[in-house]
A and B are shown apart, each in its own frame.
Chain A
Amino acid sequence: SQQGEEDPQALSIQEGENATMNCSYKTSINNLQWYRQNSGRGLVHLILIRSNEREKHSGRLRVTLDTSKKSSSLLITASRAADTASYFCATAHLTGNQFYFGTGTSLTVIP
């Protein structure tokens, strides 16, 4: 399987704390994207980082990419109860038209 893996599988924090989740993948990529999934819903795109970028910000989200280690991290700052969801990384490889999704991190933010 070419699926990536997220770490940790589950994360529980207090409102206002920062949440960090990591993604590791196996082959060279074109870009990496992070998606969010609320319980019982479809996935929603959060942010895309290209292989030649090292860091990207969007509101309270910060994504880093280390292509030498084949890993990425997603930081959510000042978390809110509404951030409770599962977060998935998805990699687009250099060849082909497919995305490969990771196994997800389940984030719970306690009010």
Chain B
Amino acid sequence: NAGVTQTPKFQVLKTGQSMTLQCAQDMNHNSMYWYRQDPGMGLRLIYYSASEGTTDKGEVPNGYNVSRLNKREFSLRLESAAPSQTSVYFCASSEVASGVGTQYFGPGTRLLVL
């Protein structure tokens, strides 16, 4: 099993460009999450999907949109990238909603917005 996979691994964007970060899991997990990690800030939740067909905002959702394409895939879209969105983005999944479940993380996408 590959676990949680993310593409791309690294991306450079210019301010105002758009892009979609892809995430897939092969563990048949119900819940999926997108985090961003900035130096000194730990991980902050952007959006999550507690189950297929649902999405909810996390702590820092502004500037992002998500799509739970099916049970396996959860994408994060930046419609108009800004330098403040330079960060490392992690996707995670868990069998049940995070109140009780262990989260499994992907390797991350490093995004630089110029």
Q: Which A residues lie at the B interface, using CB under 8 A?
A: 1-3, 30-31, 33, 35, 40-45, 48, 88, 90, 92-93, 96-104
Contact = CB atoms under 8 A, between A and B. Distances in A.
18 contacts: A2-B59, A3-B44, A30-B99, A33-B102, A33-B103, A40-B108, A41-B107, A41-B108, A42-B90, A43-B90, A43-B105, A92-B99, A92-B100, A97-B56, A98-B45, A98-B58, A100-B45, A104-B42
Instruction: Sort A-B residue pairs by CB-CB distance and give the 7 closest, nearest first.
Output: A42-B105, A97-B97, A101-B43, A103-B42, A101-B42, A43-B105, A45-B102
B107 A99 contact: no
A42 B107 contact: yes
B17 interface: no
Interface string B6-41: 000000000000000000000000010101000011
B64 interface: no
Contacts of B102: 33, 45, 48
A56 to B, nearest CB: 14
Contacts of B35: 101
B31 A97 contact: yes
Nearest to B96: A97
Nearest to B110: A40
Nearest to A88: B42
B42 A31 contact: no
B105 to A, nearest CB: 3
B42 A97 contact: no
A48 B102 CA distance: 8
Contacts of A93: 99
Given A43-B90, A103-B41, A96 B99 contact: yes
Contacts of B104: 45
B66 interface: no
Contacts of B33: 99
B43 A88 contact: yes
Nearest to B31: A97
